[in-house]
Amino acid sequence: MGHSMETDGSKSPGESSAPGVATIGYEGDSNEYVILGNTKYKRSELMEAFGGALNPGLTPYPVHKFANPAPLGLAAFAFTTFVLSLFNAQAMGITVPNVVVSAATFYGGAIQFVAGVWEMALGNTFGATALCSYGAFWLSYAAILIKSFNIEAAYEDDKAMLANAIGFFLLGWALFTLFLVLVTMKSTVAFCSLFFFLFLTFVLLAAGEFSGKVGVTRAGGVIGVITAFLGWYNAYAGAADRNNTYLTVKPIPLPGAKL
The pLDDT tens digits for 184-196 are 999 999 999 999 9
Does residue 71 register a pLDDT over 90? yes
The pLDDT tens digits for 210-246 are 999 999 999 999 999 999 999 999 999 999 988 899 9
> Between the CA atoms of 167, 130, 115 and 221, what dihedral angle is there, to the nearest 10 degrees?
40
Side by side, the strands of the sheet bearing 33-36 are 3-6, 24-27, 33-36, 39-42
Element (H, E) at 180: helix 159-182
The pLDDT tens digits for 130-182 are 999 999 999 999 999 999 999 999 999 999 999 999 999 999 999 999 999 99
Does residue 49 register a pLDDT over 50? yes
At 253, the pLDDT band (50, 70, 90 cuts) reads confident
Please tell me the number of Cα atoms within 13 Å of 146 on its side-chain side: 13
Please give the Cα distance from 59 to 50 (Å, whole number): 9
Please give the Cα distance from 72 to 11 (Å, whole number): 37
- The residues with which 60 forms a beta bridge, in sequence order, are 46
